[in-house]
A = this chain, B = another copy of it.
Amino acid sequence: MRRNERGDGTKEERGRDRMREKVSRYMEKNGMLKAGQRVVVGLSGGADSVCLLSLLSDMRSSLSIRLRAVHVHHGLRGQEADRDADFSRELCRKLDIPFILKMENAHQEAQNRRISEEEAGRLLRYEAFEQEAARWEEEEREQEGAALPVRIAVAHHGDDSAETILYHLFRGSGLRGLAGIAPVRGRVIRPLLCVSRQEILEYLREEGLSYVTDSTNLLNDYTRNRLRNQILPMAVQEINRGAVEHILRAGEIIGEADQFFRERAGKFLKKEGIWKESCLEKSRMLAVPVSALGSLAHIEQGYVIREAFSELGWPLRNIDASHIESILSLLDGRTGAGADLPGGVRAERVYENLVLKKKERAAAKDGLPRLSMEVIPRENQAEIPKNRYTKWFDYDKIKDTLSVRYRLPGDYITLKGGGRKSLKSLFIDEKIPREMRGSIPLLAEGNHVLWMIGGRISEYYKVTEQTKRILKVHLDGGTNCG
């Protein structure tokens, strides 16, 4: 046991203990690991990941965790990369940690995905870690029936996060980007965010641990390097010695605020959002009552819109503050006012709702649903089924050919009491958003609509005591959703 329990060791020993305690506390505070959990550690062989592996290695018995190290060879940098892989394998042998080497081709990947080699490398690394984590979980499940989720530990440190905060601050960002690097996201944990690069180097020196240096590291990414090598050091030297810690602390508070607003927006949408999903369309649409959204603070409104995009599975990449404002301006608009947004999204004021939906594509016109029909005698079944996707009609009232189609001018439906109502005014009465109207499939006899498929049917065709034969119509695939 290397830890000095009497607290009277050398300066180096105390330094190492401080580092271990600092990282332990940070991990605990952020709920990074549970006893018995498995951790895949990303190991490049560089200073940061060697420090991370060493610290986690020390914690193995006290936390009863198990480790595997994954080294990704990017197929770049020739012999230097081979050297890094060898170094990493040797370190794991010494620490008695299983070592997994993943051979990748970042150059090829970059070409395939049309991204930079650095970005491709990053994606390949996380994919490799995720793969190994999933595989390990599977092994555990087979052996023990159940498994805690396997975590992935990566070695980002405080300077990385401070750099990220400045990067986003200077290039434009909402609160989320200004929060810096997340300590926990999904499986991924980042135990070293609480320490600086300097502390890592001191720890390695005191532990007598060596590490490799990636010769391309100092060359890549011009912007990042300006931040790392010029702006951050200037802030520390000229403005405040504790600048990095202060930036990180600001990031923490901003992160808390961001999370607060996101959770609140999620709850709001769960309570107030009207989600319309049709089997006939892949994308969903969302309506939010203007009164509810309008009663929120402006910052909450923005979060609700962003959260809605997330929940609808629409990318937020190209949505900036001006788009959010153009959506929110509809709160003061009249019905029909709308805003077109990137990604084919349209926001529209529809009566007392704000509606978000993907614009109809021409292709949608073709995707009419398939109906299966069957004629059955009345006496066979007394109870009319209350089923959204199976409807009965009085077969003997149908005189002409039935068609499945979208609306046409002159379409109408029969109301209780026998009056006719045009489909158009019915849509308006039922506050069906204009942009949905064209994509509601209909079962019709001429202009007389039997069924707004998935919705109401015409009174005229309803099964009554007098009905002799029943037309049973079922929407194929219609039972599993809605």
Binding site for B on A (CB under 8 A): 166-175, 178, 223, 226-227, 230-231, 234-235, 238-240, 242-243, 245-247, 249-250, 253-254, 256-257, 260-261, 297-300, 321
User: Which chain B residues lie closer than 8 Å to A239 at the CB level?
Assistant: 166-167, 170-171, 223, 226-227, 231
User: Which chain B residues lie closer than 8 Å to A167 at the CB level?
Assistant: 239
Q: Contact: A172 with B249, CB < 8 Å? A: yes
CA distance A240 to B167 in the complex (A): 9
Give the oligomeric copy count: 2
CA distance A137 to B146 in the complex (A): 75
Nearest CB of chain B from residue A245's CB, rounded to whole Å: 8
Give 5 pairs: A residue, B residue, CB < 8 Å, sorted on A.
Answer: A167-B239, A170-B240, A170-B246, A231-B231, A260-B297
CA distance A226 to B233 in the complex (A): 13
The verdict on A299 contacting B260 (CB below 8 Å), with A175-B254, A239-B227 known, is yes
The verdict on A253 contacting B175 (CB below 8 Å), with A226-B239, A234-B231, A299-B260 known, is yes
Closest-by-CB residue of B relative to A171 is B240
CA distance A257 to B298 in the complex (A): 10
User: Which chain B residues lie closer than 8 Å to A243 at the CB level?
Assistant: 170-171
User: Which chain B residues lie closer than 8 Å to A174 at the CB level?
Assistant: 253
User: Which chain B residues lie closer than 8 Å to A226 at the CB level?
Assistant: 234, 238-239
CA distance A260 to B301 in the complex (A): 12
Q: Contact: A246 with B172, CB < 8 Å? A: yes
CA distance A254 to B243 in the complex (A): 19
Q: Contact: A230 with B238, CB < 8 Å? A: yes
Q: Contact: A261 with B257, CB < 8 Å? A: yes
Q: Contact: A172 with B256, CB < 8 Å? A: no
User: Which chain B residues lie closer than 8 Å to A297 at the CB level?
Assistant: 256, 260
User: Taking each of A167, A239, A249, A300, which has the highest tally of chain B beta carbons within 10 Å of its own beta carbon?
Assistant: A239
CA distance A170 to B226 in the complex (A): 17
Known: A175-B253, A253-B299, A257-B257. 19 other contacts (CB 8 A): A167-B239, A169-B250, A170-B240, A170-B243, A171-B239, A171-B243, A172-B250, A173-B250, A178-B250, A223-B238, A226-B234, A226-B238, A231-B238, A234-B234, A249-B321, A256-B298, A256-B299, A257-B299, A260-B297
Nearest CB of chain B from residue A228's CB, rounded to whole Å: 12
In the complex, which of the residues B227, B234, B246 contacts A173, with contact meaning CB atoms closer than 8 Å?
B246
The verdict on A234 contacting B230 (CB below 8 Å), with A169-B250, A249-B321 known, is yes
CA distance A223 to B298 in the complex (A): 35
User: Which chain B residues lie closer than 8 Å to A168 at the CB level?
Assistant: 250
Nearest CB of chain B from residue A397's CB, rounded to whole Å: 60
Nearest CB of chain B from residue A425's CB, rounded to whole Å: 41
User: Which chain B residues lie closer than 8 Å to A173 at the CB level?
Assistant: 246, 250
Q: Which 7 A/B pairs are nearest by Cβ-Cβ distance?
A: A172-B246, A256-B299, A170-B243, A170-B239, A226-B238, A257-B257, A171-B240
Q: Contact: B257 with A175, CB < 8 Å? A: yes
CA distance A230 to B239 in the complex (A): 11
Closest-by-CB residue of B relative to A175 is B253
Nearest CB of chain B from residue A73's CB, rounded to whole Å: 32
User: Which chain B residues lie closer than 8 Å to A240 at the CB level?
Assistant: 170-172
User: Which chain B residues lie closer than 8 Å to A234 at the CB level?
Assistant: 226, 230-231, 234
Q: Contact: A172 with B261, CB < 8 Å? A: no
User: Which chain B residues lie closer than 8 Å to A256 at the CB level?
Assistant: 297-299
User: Which chain B residues lie closer than 8 Å to A170 at the CB level?
Assistant: 235, 239-240, 243, 246-247
CA distance A240 to B239 in the complex (A): 21
